[in-house]
Structure 1
Amino acid sequence: MARKHVERGFLWIVACALSGYGCMVEGEFLEDLVPSGPDLGVSALETRCGDSLRQGKEACDDGNTAPGDGCDTACEVEICWTCEEVLPGARSTCGPQCDAAAGQSCVMGACVSCSDGVRNGYETDVDCGGSCAPCTQGLACGKEGDCATGFCSGGVCCNEACGAACIRCDLEGSVGICAYVPENETHEDRACGGGVSVCDGKGACKNVATQACTKGIECLSGKCLGGVCQ
């Protein structure tokens, strides 16, 4: 009889070990029997991205881990999308952040359009240039395509091609018009190569007094004596 009792006890311990759960003997857990079955403890209650339940630190959970639908592989809301839940902790529903029907597009996380009265997105001036319609003469540009005139000079939409020395399209008082730089504008460093030469008011660079010359036309004064501008 005692032998059968021992055998039953042994079989109970083996069965308990194979089940993957801890066994209780006289109120104590048998530490030598390591669980290997399904986890029904704390880890089973941990959040899992893609399970249609927004929990823990998840910013969203739309029931999958595919990118490009507003909720990414790590259950973070993707740029240019918004996600919300009908009930707290429920499945997230995501949609575009911007209203395409209203002409909005998302640029670096912000909704912009070509009619919002603000210079934003890829525009070169307010609601024009870049991804919007070309800008009119006198407005800012980055390339010829930004201008309705087809000419961009000095960052301004110009009335004509304007790129020679001492000729600019962004001069104060005549922005958008290709015009001569006024005579003796010494601040025009780039106009005459950054040297001491100055513009003559007619679109040309001239040497000033004490500078070397070979003929009068090279000098602002029109006089060249002894190889020096007077």
Structure 2
Amino acid sequence: GKGCIDGECVYPQCQSVTCGPNETCAAGFCYPKDCTHEQCPEGAVCAHPCGDPLSCPGRCVEELCAPVVCGLGEACVAGRCVEPSCADSSWNGAETDVDCGGGTCPVCALGKRCVQASDCDAPACTSGRCANTSCTDGAKNGDESDRDCGGSCPLKCAARASCTQGADCASLICRQGACTAAACNDGVANGDESDSDCGGEFCRKCVAGKACRRGSDCVTGVCTNQVCAS
């Protein structure tokens, strides 16, 4: 953001730059204050787009484009030289929305149309719109391993859903990129087991010293302080 110097808001790149009385600083460069085309709106400065004051008159450009000189047939948008169609206020070419997306134009803002996340200045493309990720949006995005599950989502993925690690899965087992169902011989405390491969409704009873939730989890029938008694 801007800093305050001598009562004026100044961009960080301009805080050590001293311009002449008829100049203004943008992106670390000095430009003439008087434009021949129009008075520049907020966020724009007067610059000579061809780089030579004698060859072309000054005009208002966005501040990020002030130090940029693009080639013939190119336009500057957000500090980048792009195809003219990326600055014509129309939805055309490979764009996914007006003047953005598609790989050749700048990325699209939140809420704009998209085909994939790379079209967006946002972490996800959900239902054709640039969006923030959510664990309830019905799409696989963010760090989810499958749709709305795994990763940092509270819901763990069911059997056969995609995974990258055991923590993505309800069974805590990820094999060859897919969650497996809990089993009584998988070496992991999962499903309704109270300890590894024992306890719960379907697996064998747990021996003394194993974790339990109730007496029925244990061979002895006694569960004390969540441990099967001897």
Q: TM-score, with normalisation over the residues of structure 1?
A: 0.34
Higher helix share: 1
Greater RCO (CA < 8 Å, at least 6 residues apart): 1
Larger radius of gyration: 1
